[in-house]
Structure 1
């Protein structure tokens, strides 16, 4: 357990942290524009030839896409309730000897925020914190009727890891993340353990999946999938239909999860990681919630779409290659890792 010299720094920030935006680096702007606006149904804004944004609500930016070769999520932005929380988290990071960098005025403008700080995160995903999102007066132009954000944040990210206890330790140290539950699942013969962490009332803002007993990572991208929450079942169904009609790859069909009860599907983005559109997950009641373990990720559905034996072999190949490519961690912020309960 981490302790800090200043009692204010040691006060919990749980509940004051919300997933705010993601930064994606890609050279596939044309495909991403079609995917985000015409398939998923978000609002789209072009900033210049090398930048574009998607909106879900009145916040100016929920997804920032910048030109580059990564074809991956490269930064996660966390909206903090106030300057006190901002300063607590900054003090924690600096107290552990981890460098923080103030975002430039241009970087803050691109993300639609007023105060921006960046520091290293697991798997090379930069963690960015901010306090005041800029609200846009421009009405939303999108195919969806709306998306659930607010106190729950805008959704979640799921990450595969060969060092899951260190990753859980990182988010516990920095954001006071709490364990919601576990899922045990077997996929293509591999036994997975998935840890679900929350930083507010949303069932989870971070999911960490690991292969049991093997320090391998079978996914090329840093983020395995990201999630946004549709305002209605009709929105989910219509976006599912559009993904099919426009010819984008579907990773998993519609299904319902065992732990958060969310109804959802998974599409494959132009960059290769997956995009989950969900509806109606449970909201955690802190007074009564107890972590538990669920067997299997789905009550029904979530069936693989179009997977071949070649796809499965490629996953095993990526897992083997990961043994020679040590996962990037931030040991100073991860402690000795958080052991499973």
Structure 2
């Protein structure tokens, strides 16, 4: 079952607002986020820190723990009516929801926080009215693009891509933007790009064609943030190299959203894309298409070794023995490809 066609759509009222990461590598993450990527950093305690991109009090929360992964996504909902529509949908499908405590909301810098299960064990959170920070930004970057497009996007790998698409269609009225077919290390991938507002995509879902395997250890394959200028991309790329962090993919430009970007590897192992100038979707004219290959140019692997490839094969083999959680009550039978 997907979203009820007779219910009001919340498309356009949903924006990726913050990301919660669990890690024990605080020192490395502090250097990565502040000195390499160029974000504003706030230490809250020995177990908590945050990064900012703009005047919103929080965009990334890092908490101490062993996951070395993204554990929650926060979605800014424009108005209380849309918030209540989403809550009603989740409850109508029998999925448990939890109201965030005052402490949880304060940590995230938000009001009216609701939490519920999401695909791949990533808790989904919705909120209204982000708190604006009193302190000015202190960061190396000149700025990041957020606003109506949200703060960026999240990319997942999945053995059940149709169910994940069904989940975000049910909860947020997500729309299919396009597909990419790509072959990486001999594996054929189909990547689905889903949008919930004017940003080309807020969720990307990659699947290995014909094989029920997931070659990525972490719940997310990468996170994306959008730099305000091309100079910001170039300067952060240089800082990543100079500070000794691993680069996953060199600078390149994507075929579908035209974003120019690079991919660094975070201290937790998943990738971090810094991009610039992706296209903005015109809902009146856009039609989904399929692109061949992820890049027009560039995005070449940097320093990938045989050991790295063997690690991906091992991760894929291990994925055969576990069941991927798609929150079946919200994903239904999934959304079939066009």
Calculate the TM-score normalised by the size of structure 1.
0.98
Instruction: Measure the CA separation in 1 of the matches of 2:2 and 2:148.
Output: 26
Instruction: Please give the alpha-carbon distance, in whole angstroms, between the structure 2 residues aligned to 1:163 and 1:154.
Output: 26
Pick aligned residue for 1:169 from 166, 170, 195: 166
Q: Is 1:223 aligned to residue 220 of structure 2?
A: yes
Counterparts of residues 33-112 of structure 1 (less than 5 Å): 33-112=30-109
| CA distance, structure 1, for counterparts of residue 114 and residue 46 of structure 2 | 25
Residue of structure 1 equivalent to 2:130: 133
Match of residue 19 from structure 2: 22
Quick one: which of 235, 238, 241 aligns to 1:238? Answer: 235
Q: Verify: 1:257 aligned to 2:262, yes or no.
A: no
Asked if 1:187 is matched to 2:184, the reply is yes
Matching residue within 143, 147, 152 for 2:144: 147
Deviations 1:194-237 (A, max 9, x none): 00000000000000000000111000000000000000000000
CA deviation profile, 1:142-164 (whole Å, cap 9, x unmatched): 00000000000000000000010
Asked whether the 8 Å contact 2:16–2:75 carries over to 1, the reply is yes
C-alpha separation between the residues in 1 aligned to 2:280 and 2:222?
21
Q: By how many angstroms is 1:4 displaced?
A: 5.0
Query: Which SS does the other structure have where 1:137 is aligned?
Result: coil
Unpaired runs of 5+ in structure 1?
none
Report the Cα offset of residue 3 of structure 1: 5.8
Q: Is residue 309 of structure 1 aligned with residue 310 of structure 2?
A: no
Query: Which residue of 291, 294, 307 maps to 1:294?
Result: 291
Moved over 4 A (4+): none
Q: State the shift of 1:123 in Å.
A: 0.2
**Inter-partner Cα distance in structure 2 for 1:323 and 1:273:** 20
Say how many residue pairs are matched.
Answer: 338
Counterpart-to-counterpart distance in 2, 1:234 and 1:284: 24
Paired with 2:204 and 2:124, the residues of 1 have a C-alpha distance of 16
Instruction: For 1:2 and 1:182, locate their aligned partners in 2 and report how far apart those are by CA, in whole Å.
Output: 20
- Alignment deviations for residues 168-212 of structure 1 (CA, whole Å, 9 cap, x no partner): 000000000000000000000000000000000000000000000
1:282 match: secondary structure: coil
1:115 is paired with a residue whose SS is strand
SS of match in other structure, 1:66 = strand
Q: Distance between the aligned counterparts of 1:51 and 1:152, measured in 2?
A: 27
CA offset at residue 127 of structure 1? 0.2
